[in-house]
Structures are given as C-alpha cells and as structure tokens.
Amino acid sequence: MFRLSKAAEYAIRGVLYLSGKEDTVKPTGIEEIATAQGVPPAYLAKLFQTLGKKGFVRSVRGHDGGFVLTKTPSEISFLDIIEAVEGPIFLNDCLINEGYCANDSVCPVHDVWGEAQKRLLGFFSSCNFKELSESGLKKRKKLKSKS
C-alpha cells in the first residue's frame, strides 16, 4: 500500500531521540529511547541492532550500557536510516531487475517509476537529523511560549 514501515518510523524516531541528547558520549539505553518515543522496546532493540551493523550507532553492553550515535546528526539522512532497516528502496521491480519488463526499451511506465524514485530518494537524502532535531526544539519552544 505504498506506506513506510513501522520499522523505518521507529528507527527514525530512535535516532531523532539520540540526536537531541546533549551528552554525546554517555550511552542511552534502549528502554529509555523506546519509552520516550512510545515504541515497543524489544522491537526497537532489534532495529538498533541493525543500525549498529550498518555503522550508524555504537553499542555498549553491560551496566550503564546503551547506544551512541557514531556520526553527528547532520551527517545522517532520513534515507540512511530508512534504507538501513528496510534495505534499498525500489518503487517497482522493473527498477531492480533489468529485463523485468518484456520490452524495457519501449515501456514508458519505466521512466515514470524511475523519475518518482529519483525524486523521493533525493528528498529523503536531503533531510538530516540535525535540522530535524532543531525543528523539533523550535516547535516545542513555540508551544511553550503560547501556554
């Protein structure tokens, strides 16, 4: 149905939470992240495991363990995290497999998927977590000043 997976959403919210942390050295436990963002802890743990493998976070086991970002928030894009947990985005099979369409060279639908994908990926790769985190802060401030 053309929808983003919960996995990607949860992972993004998790990374966003870490991006907002002042202390970038002390690990943050998965339980804290999950509670703060309102997502299932066990599931988030799985997701952070793969984020670790892909090199976006570093994990510390044991007492006072948890996760730390390995890059600064401005270096991490939405696309990075989406693709880390869902694998590469392909709007349509014919964009993966050359020869999926019986006659690639005359199929005009091809081009539409290609262009749509290019635009979508371009947009997601232009969104980084520094901006995102700051825009969240700004929103919170605005809300506060109103009340």
Partner DNA sequence: TTATTCAGGACATAAAAGGTCTTTTATATC
Partner DNA sequence: GATATAAAAGACCTTTTATGTCCTGAATAA
Interface positions with DNA (CB under 7 A): 1, 5-7, 10, 27, 29-31, 39-43, 45-46, 48-49, 52-53, 59-67, 86
Nearest Cα residue to 4 out of 57, 81, 77: 81
Cβ nearer to its own copies, comparing 16 with 27: 16
By beta-carbon proximity to DNA, the closer residue of 69 and 128 is: 69
State how far the Cα of 69 lies from the Cα of 77, in Å rounded to an integer: 13
CB of 62 to its own copies, least distance (A): 31
Please, which residue, 47 or 128, has the CB nearer to DNA?
47
Apex 119 CA angle, 127 and 112, nearest 5: 160
From CA 7, how far away is CA 31, in angstroms rounded? Answer: 16
Comparing CB distances to its own copies, the nearer of 75 and 115 is 115
Give the integer Cα–Cα distance in Å for 66 and 58.
Answer: 8
Task: Compute how many other C-beta atoms are within 10 angstroms of the C-beta atom of residue 34.
Answer: 21
Q: Is 70 helix (H, G, I), strand (E, B) or coil?
A: coil
Partner that binds at residue 99, options its own copies, DNA, none, CB closer than 5 to 8 Å by kind? none
Binding residues vs its own copies (CB under 8 A): 1-5, 8-9, 12-13, 16, 38, 78, 82, 86-87, 89-93, 102, 105-109, 111-113, 115-116, 119-120, 123-124, 127, 132-133, 135-136, 139-140, 143
